[in-house]
């Protein structure tokens, strides 16, 4: 049988200036590393056929499936605050769209599939390491419950790519609600193509925000809806200690999904100024800066939509500013609610913000591990006899003791209708405080084994652990531990 993709393509039906038609560049001898079988089934694909040699050729870009309409999407973007009027998919090709089992339209894209008209002298290829990193982290984000692009497959190409040295080449098959970015709107706005902005906005409303189609002010409502999703998304990042690393406007998805896992990382010990990306020399995209940058990106989107919001420029600016101003409240509401859940609080009080911040401050001063502190705090909800696991994470355990006394006083003050027994509270906390994240040293160990020894067992093991992040998994308890000093990863790198 032949591999069949039930494509129903809509973006490729937009005007020709939205993209460039280009086919993937064939590779010599593709070899399937990993197929995400549950995701394949969700997309209406046959995983058994995708695991055949023909399937590997499709997933590597050597063979096009029937119905594919391959394109490289055009977009612009602010990169570290500097505007570039033309970027576009320089090493990614959108094969087409399918409607999944839930009725959601999803893009299927090959990343690392060869040069496009937007490659800017690049080779259009991807090395194995960044492909594995994106596969691991994007799938971990999905199991953590954070909106994200997904990874359908990783394939070795049988060819080398040159970076600082020769590395194994690979292709990632990425799945997204769409690959439309803030930078996509910027591409048309920079050319003063108001009709292009309008066509793109109408497409986005139809695809991602259909409830706005009959809105009296659809484009202003669109801006507000995208802002709300971005604010909620970044709050979710902070609640698991995630640092994107390159929050450029071309890496800001209109659908509200996390996209483009380059030099991303999860924190070990808590540090609000933490930066891992080797190219973020000024700390623009540090952990605690992410909400501010997301709002900045939304301001850039608002600038693009101004001509659609109102014919009166002053009115358009005022209404856009009001929408942008809502970002802080939406983010703060989501973030504070998330912190209360992490602390086992089932009701809200004004001073909960101080209680949570004081814990974070103590963690920062004592280099306490972010993930383990909250996970072990879940056990501490059973009572003071269970404090030992958390205390040992603090350089000065007395700092935890002082805070824990206030925390327990707060728990004792919960309203009667919000009170739960300690075991129920522990269960609720464990459901939002993961035991396992893709720790940087584990990801690097996976990449080293795959690149240097063609050994993918560590990759499979890490994926298996991360598929159940909220379960204890005693056999894999070492995966929950932070790195030893010699294992620490201080920098992560962009795939290009």
C-alpha 450/C-alpha 303 separation (Å) is: 44
pLDDT of 281 reads 86
pLDDT beyond 70 at 496: no
Average pLDDT over residues 373-386: 97
pLDDT of 3 reads 85
Task: Judge whether 102 counts as a catalytic residue.
Answer: no
pLDDT beyond 80 at 185: yes
Average pLDDT over residues 439-445: 97
pLDDT of 9 reads 96
Average pLDDT over residues 184-198: 98
- Of the pLDDT bands very low, low, confident and very high (cuts 50, 70, 90), residue 188 is very high
pLDDT of 2 reads 75
Where b means 16+ CB within 10 Å and e means fewer, 142-159 reads bbbebbbbbbbbbbbbeb
pLDDT of 212 reads 98
Number of Cα atoms under 13 Å in the Cβ half of residue 265 = 28
Mean residue pLDDT of the chain comes to 96
pLDDT beyond 80 at 301: yes
Top pLDDT among 492 and 397 is at 397
Q: Which of 130, 135, 207 is nearest to 167 (CA)?
A: 130
pLDDT of 417 reads 59
Q: What's the pLDDT tens digit per position in 404-430?
A: 999 999 999 888 656 668 999 999 999
pLDDT of 74 reads 98
Q: What's the pLDDT tens digit per position in 58-113?
A: 999 999 999 999 999 999 999 999 999 999 999 999 999 999 999 999 999 999 99
Secondary structure of residue 171 in the 3-state scheme: strand
Surface-to-core class of residue 342, CB atoms within 10 Å of its CB (0-12 exposed, 13-18 middle, 19+ buried): buried
pLDDT of 414 reads 85
pLDDT beyond 90 at 13: yes
pLDDT of 490 reads 79
Q: Which of 93, 76, 92 is nearest to 84 (CA)?
A: 76
Which of 89, 107, 232, 250 is flagged as catalytic? 250
Residue 16 per-residue DSSP state: G
Average pLDDT over residues 470-491: 92
pLDDT of 495 reads 65
Average pLDDT over residues 248-274: 96
Q: What's the pLDDT tens digit per position in 303-356?
A: 999 999 999 999 999 999 999 999 999 999 999 999 999 999 999 999 999 999
pLDDT beyond 60 at 172: yes
pLDDT of 421 reads 86
pLDDT of 453 reads 97
Q: Percentage of the chain surpassing pLDDT 70? A: 98
């Amino acid at each position: 049988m032949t591999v069949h993709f039930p494509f129903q393509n809509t973006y490729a039906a937009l005007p020709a200036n939205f993209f460039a038609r280009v086919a993937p560049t064939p590779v010599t001898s593709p070899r399937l590393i990993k197929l995400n079988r549950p995701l394949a089934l969700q997309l209406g694909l046959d995983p058994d056929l995708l695991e055949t040699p023909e399937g590997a050729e499709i997933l590597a870009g050597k063979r096009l499936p029937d119905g594919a309409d391959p394109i490289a999407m055009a977009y612009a973007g602010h990169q570290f605050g500097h505007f570039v009027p033309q970027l576009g998919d320089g090493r990614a090709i959108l094969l087409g769209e399918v409607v999944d089992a839930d009725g959601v339209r999803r893009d299927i894209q090959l990343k690392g599939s060869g040069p496009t008209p937007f490659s800017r002298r690049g080779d259009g290829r991807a090395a194995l390491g960044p492909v594995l990193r994106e596969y691991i982290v994007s799938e971990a984000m999905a199991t953590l419950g954070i909106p994200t692009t997904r990874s359908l497959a990783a394939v070795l190409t049988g060819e080398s790519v040159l970076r600082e040295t020769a590395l194994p080449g690979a292709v990632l098959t990425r799945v997204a609600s769409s690959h439309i970015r803030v930078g996509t709107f910027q591409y048309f706005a920079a050319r003063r193509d108001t009709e292009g902005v309008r066509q793109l906005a109408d497409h986005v409303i139809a695809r991602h925000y259909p409830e706005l189609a009959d809105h009296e002010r659809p484009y202003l409502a669109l801006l507000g809806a995208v802002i709300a999703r971005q604010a909620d998304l970044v709050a979710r990042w902070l609640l698991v200690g995630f640092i994107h690393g390159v929050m450029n406007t071309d890496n800001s998805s209109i659908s509200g999904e996390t996209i483009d896992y380059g030099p991303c990382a999860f924190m070990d010990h808590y540090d609000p100024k933490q930066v891992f990306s080797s190219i973020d020399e000024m700390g623009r995209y540090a952990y605690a800066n992410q909400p501010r940058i997301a709002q900045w990106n939304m301001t850039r989107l608002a600038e693009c939509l101004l001509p659609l919001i109102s014919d009166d420029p002053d009115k358009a600016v005022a209404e856009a500013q009001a929408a942008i101003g809502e970002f802080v409240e939406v983010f703060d509401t989501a973030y504070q609610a998330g912190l209360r859940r992490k602390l086992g609080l089932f009701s809200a009080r004004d001073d909960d913000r101080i209680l949570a911040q004081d814990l974070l401050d103590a963690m920062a001063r004592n280099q306490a591990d972010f993930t383990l502190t909250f996970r072990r705090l879940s056990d501490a909800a059973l009572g003071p006899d269970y404090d030992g696991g958390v205390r040992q994470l603090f350089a000065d355990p007395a700092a935890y003791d002082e805070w824990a006394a206030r925390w327990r006083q707060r728990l004792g003050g919960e309203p009667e209708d919000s009170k739960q027994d300690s075991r129920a509270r522990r269960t609720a906390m464990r459901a939002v405080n993961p035991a396992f994240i893709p720790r940087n040293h584990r990801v690097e160990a996976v990449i080293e084994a795959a690149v240097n020894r063609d050994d993918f067992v560590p990759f499979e093991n890490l994926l298996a652990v991360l598929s159940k992040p909220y379960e204890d998994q005693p056999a894999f308890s070492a995966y929950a531990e932070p790195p030893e000093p010699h294992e620490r990863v201080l920098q992560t790198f962009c795939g290009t």
